[in-house]
Structure 1
Amino acid sequence: MTNKVTIVGSINVDRILQIDQLPQSGETIRMQDFSIAAGGKGANQAVAAARSGAQTSFIGAVGQDLDGQMMLNKLRDNQVNTNAIEVMNSSATGQAYILLQATGQNSIIISAGANADVSADQVKANQALIIQADFVMAQFETPLAATIQAFEIAQANRTITILNPAPATAALSEELLQLTDIIVPNETEAANLTGIEITNETSMRAAADKFFALGVKVVIITLGSRGVFMARAGFDKIIPAVTVTAVDTTAAGDTFIGSLASELHADFSNLEAAIVYANRASALTVQKLGAFPSIPTRAEVVASI
């Protein structure tokens, strides 16, 4: 059965600056190479879900500019339904400036642009996309009010909510977490939201318990090269990562979440298997440069197993 996934999220054009290492204060360095790619956490997750076979729709915004048209075309090329993406006259399309080091690690600077214009009213006007979905996903690159509206609609209609609390923030919205079924932070994001430093399995369980107390049903903490910590009430486990040589970690987490949503059953009965699949997809992503260009198809993920 094909999962239906709706994303409320961000759309960015990634400008990738390849450098040996980050500059020190006051230092001028040379750039080794420069490239432009489609990206944005929401858009990456949508493409990951679609390439893994999910019927995918998107609620978001772009500017009335060449970047916006490019992003709409890229999403459509990946069979993402873009009917609920608004084109804003007064805002430019979101931008991400990615400082990609030779190690494959990156630092990212974001200009929200039209992403900041995504509103609760826009979500409500497109609520049919949420009501008919199996999963609705959101991140922190669009306004909180829009995400809360989406999750309220989802909860009222038995659509599973998935929250990727990124970029990291120290603001804990209990209202949003009470509407969240699955939360997928990395270690830093989990620590920022719970106040618990993630150092070992004991601290991961403590963070998960804090999320459970607010109504979250499933906690998935991504641990980079160490794998993924998954927890449901009364059960937790670390699922190892796939060992590969990273070229560019951009979109690795987004690929994990999008492919997870394409694979997961609504009753969570195949949670561990879905995480293993998502781990495989993420491992393929880090072996290529860029966001959209690196996200694998279902066939590629299955072939890697």
Structure 2
Amino acid sequence: MNKVTVLGSLNVDSILRFKRFPKPGETLPLTGKSVAGGGKGANQAIAAARAGAQTTFIGKVGQDQEGTFMVQQLTESGVDDRFVQHSDAAATGSAFILLDASSENRILIDGGTNQLVTAEDVEQAQSVIADSTFLIAQFETPIAATQRGFELARAAKQKTILNPAPATDAVPAELLAVTDLIVPNETETETLTGVHITDEASMVAGAQKLQALGVANVIITVGSKGAFWMRGGEHGFVPAFKVDAVDTTAAGDTFIGALSSVLQPDFSNLAEAVRFANRASSLAVQKLGAQPSIPTQAEIVAADQTK
């Protein structure tokens, strides 16, 4: 069983549904609204835990009902919450997900306590990082905290997975130097490398540029098309499973969490792990909400056996 530690965000998601996005100055009625647990970090941790990994979370929530709710979402999925701190300096993070009838989403985020996570907070979890198969992080918490976590993982000879989202072109070279696997989507790849992703040739070019920045292993996710992988000089493309999507909000996070649950620390089964992650993601997009949509290991295996 892989041991996965996730450093990242916890957000309470407010999901607003409507037929189409309003034009400037236009008022439209909602067709529905709901609240669910979210945050890229929490989504990835829950996906890893439900897919079978022993999972621990490092993050911060407010001293409020939303914080209590978010910790409950973690623990109910079997995620160890020992390193989730409660702060009275800000409110728990929140996100507002705008979802139209075609399942296209736009997301607005208030980082709240996610922005208060420090390198010192991460150092308190040094022992669990040193015992983890993988440490995963994203960019919804401060990069300085992520860099410190990755340095601790590298010192302990454990592997790191970076999801560079939301996209930024200000990724320190020092962070990439201690990143073992990077998992951007096509937009994030272009932001990091300047390569516009249109086909497999451009994926190869983008991945090679990421390798030149110091990351040996690369996965570029391309939504409903699938995912491209590169390990050393080897590469391939794993098509997505075709399904009718309802809500794509947690698709990428489910992919990364599920991937970490089955990936070998030497990345020797990268292609097979990508396929497993694709299957998990295909199940997540068929349900509404981020964390409520994330499948269990049994559901992923059953889907593979029946389709």
Give TM-score scaled by structure 2 length: 0.98
1:262 match: 261
Partners of 1:237 and 1:272 lie apart in 2 by: 7
Return the offset for 1:87.
Answer: 0.3
Structure 2 residue 74 is the aligned partner of structure 1 residue 75? yes
Which residue of structure 2 lines up, in the alignment, with residue 40 of structure 1?
A: 39
Residue 176 of structure 1 and its aligned partner are, at CA, apart by: 1.0
Give the equivalent residue in structure 1 for 2:222.
Answer: 223
Worse-matched range after superposition: 37-46 or 123-132: 123-132
CA-to-partner distance for each residue in 1:103-133, whole Å, 9 max, x for gaps?
1111000000000000000001111111000
**Which consecutive segments of 4 or more residues in structure 1 shift more than 3 A?**
none
Which amino acid is 1:123 matched to? V
Look up the match of 2:170.
171
CA shift digits 1:46-105 (9 cap, x unpaired) = 000000110000000000000000111111111101010110111100000000111111
State the distance in 2 between where 1:178 and 1:58 align: 23
Number of residue pairs matched by the alignment = 304
- The one-letter amino acid of 1:49's match is A
**Distance of 2:117 and 2:150 partners within structure 1:** 14
Aligned AA for 1:256?
F
Query: Which amino acid is 1:243 matched to?
Result: K
Paired residues of 2:7 and 2:146 also in contact (CA < 8 A) = yes
Residue 99 (1) aligns with residue 98 (2): yes
Q: Is 1:117 equivalent to 2:116 in the alignment?
A: yes
CA distance in 1, matches of 2:204, 2:172: 20
Query: TM-score, normalized by length of structure 1?
Result: 0.98
Measured after TM superposition, the shift of residue 209 of structure 1 is 1.1
Secondary structure, in 3 states, of the residue corresponding to 1:161? strand
SS for the counterpart of 1:76 is helix
1:234 is displaced (CA, Å) by 1.3
Q: Distance in 2 between matches of 1:70 and 1:187?
A: 33
1:196 aligns with 2:195: yes
Question: RMSD of aligned C-alpha atoms?
Answer: 0.8
Secondary structure at the counterpart of residue 27 of structure 2 = coil
Distance 1:220 1:30 in 2: 39
Percent of residue pairs identical? 56
Partner of 2:96: helix, strand, or coil? Answer: strand
Partner residue in 2 for 1:60:
59
What is the identity, as a one-letter code, of the residue corresponding to 2:223?
G
Cα deviation for residue 192 of structure 1 reads 0.4
Corresponding position of 1:22: 21
After TM superposition, the structure 1 stretch with the greater mean CA deviation from structure 2, 91-100 or 224-233, is 224-233
Does structure 1 retain, via aligned residues, the 8 Å contact 2:236–2:271? no
Report the equivalent of 1:3. 2
1:90 maps to 2:89: yes
The AA in structure 2 aligned to 1:203 is S
- What is the CA–CA distance in structure 1 between the aligned matches of 2:90 and 2:158, rounded to whole Å? 31
2:115 is paired with a residue of what secondary structure?
helix
Match for residue 140 of structure 1? 139
Letter in 2 for 1:187: E
Q: Distance in 2 between matches of 1:74 and 1:228?
A: 28
Are the equivalent residues in 1 in contact too, given 2:16–2:97 (CA < 8 A)? yes
Shift of 1:170: 2.4
SS across alignment from 1:85: strand
| Aligned amino acid, residue 239 of structure 1 | V
The answer to whether 1:288 aligns with 2:280 is no
SS at match of 1:87: strand
Post-superposition offset of 1:240 = 0.5
SS at match of 1:246: coil
Matched residue SS, 1:266: coil
Q: What amino acid is the match of 1:100?
A: L
Describe the SS at the equivalent of 1:36: strand
SS in 2 for 1:15: strand
What code does the residue aligned with 1:201 have? E
Question: CA–CA distance in 1 between the matches of 2:112 and 2:244?
Answer: 34
User: Which residue of the partner structure matches residue 296 of structure 2?
Assistant: 297
2:125 matched residue in structure 1: 126
CA drift of 1:214 comes to 2.0
